Chain A
Amino acid sequence: MRPERRSSRWPRLGAAAFLAAWAACWDSGTTPLPTESGTGPQPALVASVAIPANYGIHDTFVRNGLAFVCAWNAGVMIFDVGNGIQGGSPASPQLIATYVTAGGQTHNAWWFWNPGTGEKKYLFVGEEGPGTLGSSSSGDIHVLDVSDLRAPSEVAFFHLDGAGTHNFWMDESAQVLYAAYYNQGVVALDVSGSLTGDLSSRLIDSIRPGGAGSTYTWGVQLYNGSLYALDMLSGFWQLGVGGPNLSVLSGGNNVPERYSSDLAVANGFAYTGTWGSASRKTGVVGNVVKIWRLDTSGAPELRDSIVTPGIGTVSDVKVSPDGKLLMFSAELGTRAGFWFYSLQDPANPTFVATYPVPDGVHTAKFGTIGGRLYAFGAKDPSLPALLILDVTDIDR
């Protein structure tokens, strides 16, 4: 047996070596990358409105000087951003009302203007419940009566077993709501007349363009008589809406290397984003906007891509009402924020400006108010906010 004296020396020598090695392997963290600055006209931030961090703001619908902010469990927040009902402006948004839909998780909205009746009564609200992306989803469509903007009330809902809703597009003249429905694909809903209670009988049709197991549809847009759908798994589709049923016309299985996100269609072209919080191929992130030319039948053909290093996800894609400006929002990475491209040549968008938001922007929408063009962005947590940029000067 070793003498006690010798064994007690080893611990102290070991401890000294231990401390020295500790200092040597100190983890000093990471160094932030420098950010770029633009030249020429730039977007100007005119307002930043804090949104309750519960989880925060997801999407915004802007129409007639009103911004319907979808603020998750805080509900739908209706702001006057130039309508006049509450003395608000883009630089000074004024909250008119807040309404928490059943179940919360308020994600997106569409304020329905019925051209047949002249009514502006209904606000459709999407609830994004828990799900496994690419496979399952949950969440209903809630219908609010906003006849009195100061006192909205929920009057109807639509529920689909086994699936949940995501982004909307509405054929207002036909009074049909098209909803991207994740694993259920696309749902068409008759929203004519008076809406009360359970709207399950209003279902016109639904379609899974990629087929069962390969469909997880993010967004839809009606354009030139076709419904375009962007599916996270199966890519960009042209759907037919002419008959009583939805049908696949063309496209699909055309974005194999990434998961897709949001879309915008204008000027005979389509622009689709990619999503990058999970890798479809090792090392490939969602930092691309794909540019598609639509042929005479409306079928998409991939022409080019905008690749943006330093971002991980293109979370929203929009084209300005005049068709001149492409905007996309970006999350993840050092160059997250708003990105703007000129569509002077729709096939070859050219970079105009970026407005960095380090926490990321979840969605971005255009709104024209008082003759000026604004971008409404949903700043991600930890300090979520509605950001309003004046982008009139870059819309040339």
Chain B
Amino acid sequence: MIRVSAVALIGAWAPLASLPAQLTARLSGQGILIYTHADPVPGGGSLGEARLVQPILMLDLGALRQRLLFHVTADFEGWTIPNGELAPGDWGEGFVDRRHPHTYLHELILSTPDVLHRWDLPVQLSLSAGKGFVPFGSDDPMSRPVERFPVNHHWCQVLERAVGMAALQAGRVTVEAALFNGDEPERPSQAPNLSRFGDSWAGRVTLRPLIGLEWQTSAATVHSPESRGGAGTDTHLLSTSLRVERRAGRTHLYGFVEWGRASEANGTFVFHTVLAEAAVAAGRHRPYYRVERTERPEDARTLDPFRTVRPHLDNSILGIDRWSIHTAGYGVRFGAAADRLELQPFVEISYGRIAQVGAGLFDPTAVYGRATFWTASVGLRVGWGMDGHRMGRYGVPMEPMNMPGMSLSDRAP
């Protein structure tokens, strides 16, 4: 597996073969080699470990003068972090205080970006289908400056689903709607449950009043996300976020704020999240910061304190806790030109507090030994050709913002 993955990663470095006319292709990839120390971890004590995280390869093909687009992302975390990435607060898909690995086939989307091109209309309609992100919430954390995934990942992104979607763009407004399967993956090799396609929906409105300024608001109803068979309750999600990217001289500024709400089991459980983050790219230097305040459910854990019981046995939880986390990081970019291999060593430190919300069996002090934690990470981010990609945006082309997490160059709109 190591060899196969290594060859695949090196392959991403090689130039593509010459392509026939009217066919375009772009191959890109990234990976982050990271050592993280966390104190405390579930069960008490501290833990440090080195892993390769976010190893992905992406292929974008365009045909018929870009009237047909194909996007595929392979994610190798099932091999590199089968037991997840150490990250207190993160949760989902059977993991807790570890970020779960994503599926090997992260995205596979076929899009027709301009169905109405024959008519000279002031709107652009696109249709997309395949496996990937649902038009809900904000950009994937993998595309953002902070390496550590936020606690709100499962409240603000819905991904790795079989999705059919339409997007209508008129001027500075884009409206997206999608049907998809509610079940989330149970393991990296698992495909969406196609028999459940259409049991969940999402819609998003994106407004770009100015260049470099983007506001989205979205809603989704996800049926039984944590029970593949569909025995679970529905989750109703709301999200709104504002994203700003500006360039001032050679300095690239990025700012982002989001709010989200999740309601489960007809309002029996309600969770909130607020997050703000900022990054600056000045020459080679990349300081960044995030503050987050997110409520998460506490599920029954197995004897492995980093895993929760899956499949569920019932619809109850042990409690709700609120994670308030400050994360600051600093990276230095190596590699000069865009669309080439670039390296970014970085350090990242988080400090957070865990508080109970309401009553329940979950007691942070009993699980962790105390109600505060910190993590420290050193890492090396490697990217190739990631410039400008909007992970999870399909069909109608979005404003080509640089993604500070992926784009290591200092270009900006």
Contacts and interface: CB of A to CB of B under 8 A. Distances in A.
Interface of A: 4, 7-8, 10-12, 14-15, 18-19, 21-27, 29-30, 52-56, 58, 72-73, 105, 107, 128-138, 213, 232, 259, 276-283, 285, 312, 332-333, 362, 380-382
Contacts of B411: none
B175 to A, nearest CB: 33
Given A8-B335, A8-B336, A25-B50, A278 B300 contact: yes
B43 A282 contact: yes
Interface in B325-361: 334-337, 340-343, 358-361
Main secondary structure of the interface of B (DSSP, over half): loop
Given A30-B83, A58-B313, A130-B315, 14 more contacts: A7-B335, A8-B340, A11-B334, A11-B335, A15-B13, A26-B80, A130-B268, A132-B316, A133-B360, A280-B361, A282-B368, A283-B44, A312-B303, A332-B303
Nearest to B84: A27
B343 A27 contact: no
Contacts of A276: 303
A52 B369 CA distance: 40
Given A7-B335, A11-B343, A15-B13, A54 B230 contact: yes
Given A11-B340, A14-B382, A277-B309, A27 B268 contact: no
A133 B368 CA distance: 19
Contacts of A279: 43, 363, 366-367
A10 B82 contact: no
A55 B231 contact: yes
Nearest to A277: B300
A333 B305 CA distance: 11
A53 B311 contact: yes
Contacts of B359: 132, 134-136, 213
Contacts of A54: 229-231
Given A132-B318, A137-B316, A213-B359, A55 B335 contact: no
Contact of B313 (A15, A281, A333, A362): A362
B229 A55 contact: yes
Interface in B15-35: 31, 33
Contacts of B360: 132-135
A72 B311 CA distance: 13
B6 A128 contact: no
Q: Give the bracket for the number of chain B residues in contact with chain A.
A: 35 or more
25 contacts: A8-B336, A14-B382, A15-B382, A18-B31, A21-B33, A22-B33, A25-B52, A53-B311, A54-B230, A55-B231, A55-B311, A73-B231, A130-B264, A130-B314, A132-B269, A132-B319, A133-B317, A133-B318, A134-B360, A136-B359, A277-B309, A280-B366, A282-B44, A282-B368, A332-B309
Given A11-B341, A27-B81, A129 B303 contact: no
A213 B229 CA distance: 35
Contacts of B9: 19
Contact of B33 (A18, A53, A133, A281): A18
Interface in B256-273: 264-265, 268-269
A54 B315 CA distance: 12
Interface string B225-243: 0010111010000000000
B274 to A, nearest CB: 22
Given A27-B82, A55-B314, A213-B359, A12 B341 contact: yes
B301 interface: yes
Which of B313, B314, B319, B359 is packed against the most chain A CB atoms within 10 Å?
B313
A309 to B, nearest CB: 10
A26 B229 CA distance: 33
Contacts of A135: 319, 358-361
- Residue among A27, A285, A381 having the largest count of chain B Cβ atoms under 10 Å: A27
Nearest to A14: B343
A278 B361 contact: yes
Interface centre among B31, B300, B380 (most CB of A within 10 A): B300
Nearest to B380: A18
A239 B332 CA distance: 68
Q: Interface centre among A278, A281, A283, by most B CB within 10 Å?
A: A278
Q: Which 8 A-B pairs have the closest CB atoms?
A: A277-B300, A135-B359, A25-B50, A134-B361, A11-B341, A130-B265, A130-B315, A381-B311
B2 interface: yes
A72 B51 CA distance: 40
Contacts of A259: 361
Contacts of B302: 277, 312, 332-333
B134 to A, nearest CB: 24
Given A55-B312, A105-B314, A285 B303 contact: yes
Nearest to A380: B313
Output the residue of B229, B317, B358 with the most chain A CB within 10 A.
B229
Nearest to A336: B303
Nearest to A182: B316
Contact of A131 (B51, B301, B316, B336): B316
Contacts of A21: 33, 50, 380
A277 B229 contact: no
Interface string B287-325: 000000000001011110000010111111111100000
B229 A53 contact: yes
